[in-house]
Chains A and B, each alone.
Chain A
């Protein structure tokens, strides 16, 4: 019951907040309050929202969509407009109810149709519906609605009696420009009120620094343009149309796009267009005596968004794919995921051998990797003297790489095998059978891997066999165009032996340089690199193998428990759901690493602490491998500093939240991680944690966040 009530309250607040593309309850609350400065409009708006929310909930539409308020905010506008345009009487109530019903239908239908195209409905349903109502009310056949006279309207806009003094005081003492700014804001609620505008401005600032600064920018540019071209004598408050500019700059600059310098420029570029649209629509609609409302904003947003959506190859000005209803969050999450998750597009390939090998010829090497066959790698084994063979090096057997196991680089099906080419004597090349003994494996459609120059009759697989990653497929040899034993590796898009090559990275490997080991992810090794596969510690891999249905209890201090369960959503993404706190943390486990991708919910939850501590874990016990990663900035606890960053974040970021994890040597089965804040290069450790593992399970984690130490026990409740 409680959760249903909360859901209802949240839906109502969101219906208000979404007028500014927000889900911020504070902003929603402020809007709800100030809408009552015009009591009839405020009351009508609230009733409309409640009516819609209740109706749509009982009709069984998607819960998540209802809560965002996207079905109900048009009805809010309808209620507000009703209360602003008409006087209260019996007909008022009747027509309000049925217009709201009509509007709801239009909203749902439009939302469904436009949603398929990836487009929003904006306030188009409200505009259509209210025009219909206006036309109908003004028709020859009266329906009983009584318009407010403009004098009354002016009074209503001004303020109610109690606040009129304050309003007059403000309008007298504040600079004209600021008053105009606030009044433009209030026009969104069909008011012309400085107090309303000021409250909305504060709410918007709390919601988003980016959106607020865009609103200011939009207002100033529109004002400046108007002043220099003298379009409207009353400045842009003319007919309450200033809001169009501000909404358009917020929407284009920060809501539909990831905020950036480009999105800001597009937002500004739209302002002159809006002037044209306002004028044009005013002329057309004047014929029917209809107001323009936010139509210019809708048209420009809609057009531009569709225009951007149709791009095929998007390098800049990214559209928001997963809407968080916060420009900052959209931006920080986007930057974070662009850096971290860009590699999900690749099929995961490992090095096709064991131990340390050297790239003797890299991509576009100068020997044989040329033109169409350039994106290939040759591997040999070298000793500390950079020699590839033992004295005297006259037979293939003297070479370190000869006879060494060659593995499948990924799961797949064997597509092609050649196994009967004689191995060459040292220094001889077999140009007739260029590739020698070869295995081609199909991994996915259009991705084949090929290993060549294998030893005669060493190949363990035949065409049609399925192979697992890391499975032995043959032995390194010296067949084909190979004067000394080496392993040729390439990716290609066709199964043919002579196919041209494809540039493609290995998912993970360890590269060694000057006695330093470093883990490389999704990179292509270069000529001269010494590389070896990542040695996976099965115990760690098992501890982090969370399958859907996995449940665990986190025990903090006595009495503070948190129930976790792992789920998989309809997009195949796995996440932890904290049954106790409602927090959600999405993660990926790719067999080499476990890492979190995003977190939603309370920062007080124990799951959040686990999210921080185990942000990225590599399943290796190599002391030399340090895992580095970056947190999204919105996790920063220092809000004043974060607000400063928010204002300039589309252009540059001076704060960095980094993560590093190591396998410290003293204790087996422990992972130490830290979170470091960097502000203009100045470092401060925010979080330190140790995760302890034993018996293929997480035992618990100790974490210190901002000097606050917590010891959390991890109790796995089921075995599977």
Chain B
């Protein structure tokens, strides 16, 4: 099997599995006052300190959550409520149009149920938000903005946003900026304090840690209204008994990822470039979406996202899967249906392009053999998929783009 879907989830690191397995067999609620509790608490706090150090934050700024989606919801809703509570004029949420659904749908929910007014920040053809776009929007009425949210790196097309520059604009106007850094932490130099953001989302299973545990790094001076009420375990912002084994494993995976980051990112980028070159020579009309990746730091080193004209992504996915190659069409699913990607549409692609795309994402255990196996299988798959054309689309909208079939 060739696994090229690390952006969906990446294998857990051996060290993290070991730490977690041991912790699962160890008794103790980190909130208990007796010996077992204190032992668990100590392990959790050491993990918190390690995570804070790895992310350039203070330990008190690290809040454990149930994963990336919860962290995004907590940041966006919680900061919105907190800011509006302090000043009722602050009802505007600025969000990039290419956010993950965990942010996108949260923002839409606030608009629908909480009277939020939303401004979608336009992206360029690479899917990037520029500081100019942010400033242009903020300048109109800075007093009315509750928060801005822009992802550090895009999960579909891999384009990296200039978060420190965006944060500089936000800070200048006194607006909190949240960033979803789920895809960024493993391979990009993410540093909370020097970035200038007010809140940052990360999750365990995208860096070789466990599922179901994440972090919201929340600046100490940022007011955030809780979503989950109860014991107030995490700075009174997030309640729920801490998942000690998951927290320990997350810290272990993050330490390892950050220690190796520089070296790993360079290796990954070289492998990715090999993959991109190989795709271009196998399928010359394939289009690489997102940042071209020629300047360091412009694109996630493990991400390659292509459009194969005349193909449906789901045909390619099935044909490659049948050959033991696992990848993704890159967009969110509803009932397993690949919807045209909102990211590609926001970048200006038409629906047909959006349907014909495939995301290949490399990770910490990827090899040249993986890339070679994929490239070997690609050309026949594209040929077949082109024969099948864009069959689900309206006949009139497809027109002559559909190749004749042999039925």
The judgment on whether A and B are partners is no
